[in-house]
Amino acid sequence: MPEREIGAISKARLETLADGVFAIVLTLLVLALLDPALARVTTPAQLDLALLALWPKVVSYVISFVVVGIFWVAHHTQFHFIRHTNRRHIWINILFLLWVSFLPFSAALLGEHPRFRTAVVLYAANMMAAGGSLALNWWYATHRRRLVEPTLDQRVIDRIYQRLSFGPIAYSAALAVAFVRPIVSFFLYVATAAAYVAIQLTTSGPGDSAAGPALDSVRTSSRTARHRLQGANNPTPGQESPPGRKLAAIGHPGCTPGPEGYVSLWEA
């Protein structure tokens, strides 16, 4: 048995856990907007002023909601190519979810004190830790094709690395600025989230339907393999399959995984 299949665990429960954590985090973010001052207003003018005073919290909520969405998309894209998991990989994902679940606190702190260095630095550190653990997740899965198909195109792997590097670089720059002008870093966070969304919407990625030549070549080889498989296991009338030989499905990214989250090519 190949090394990568030893101790293989279905990835389904890990994906379910991640989706649940993301859903809770996205919901908790809005709680930071529940300011006690809103309950004390007695006139329309006071309500207007109270809502206007919430603008840093609203901005922090919006950019944090977008960033959590970006993390979810990136995590989902990785698991499109990851075929199974193991204990180390599970704990790397738990580390990633730890930093994601910390975001409601750091986002609330940023919205409450956008001009305080500590709040701005903590937010950047939280983002960098989450982004770094997500990159670690991809490295562990793809190093020596540990948890992905051996045939996965290197260009697909590199493309995902390129996208993962954008956030840590941007937040590192914002972190450096925070020690001089914290409020400038606050607006850099806004620009970073907006830029990343623009990149996502205007370019294709490894998980998109128009992912470029790298993924197209993988899908083409996958379709070719399936056609050969169908021809081998379903010979035309008058033909017989070679005795004592059976061909299983190839687990390319376009194929449906088996019960354990992956399939492999074998002959018996």
Domain boundaries, the chain: 3-210
pLDDT of 136 reads: 96
Question: Is pTM, for the whole model, over 0.85?
Answer: no
What pLDDT is stored for residue 237 in this prediction? 56
pLDDT > 90 fraction of the chain, expressed in percent and rounded = 60
pLDDT score, position 37: 81
- And the tokens for 193? 């989230």
Higher pLDDT, 36 or 76: 76
What per-residue confidence (pLDDT) applies to 82?
95
The vertex-168 CA angle with 162 and 169, nearest 5°, equals 80
Nearest to 249 by CA among 233, 236, 265, 261: 265
Are the C-beta atoms of 90 and 14 separated by less than 8 Å? yes
Average pLDDT in the chain: 81
Q: Among 72-81, 90-99, 186-195, 244-253, whose mean pLDDT is lowest?
A: 244-253
Which residue, among 108, 58, 76, 103, has the nearest Cα to 206 in the 3D structure?
Answer: 76
The pLDDT assigned to 128 comes to 94
- The per-residue pLDDT for 240 is 53
Residue 261: predicted pLDDT:
43
User: Quick one: pLDDT band at residue 9, thresholds 50, 70, 90?
Assistant: confident
Torsional class of 107: left (φ above 0), alpha (ψ -120 to 50), beta (otherwise): alpha
Assess whether pLDDT exceeds 60 at residue 116: yes
pLDDT of residue 216 exceeding 90, the answer is no
Stretch 121-150: mean pLDDT, rounded?
95
Q: Could you tell me which residues come within 8 angstroms of residue 80 by beta carbon, excluding any fewer than 6 positions away?
A: 206, 207, 253
- Confidence band, pLDDT 50/70/90 cuts, at residue 36: confident
What's the pLDDT score for residue 254? 44
Does residue 231 contact residue 237 with C-beta atoms inside 8 Å? no
**Is the pLDDT score of 110 beyond 50?**
yes
Cα–Cα nearest to 56, from 75, 32, 40: 32
pLDDT(137) > 70: yes
Mean pLDDT of 173-181: 92
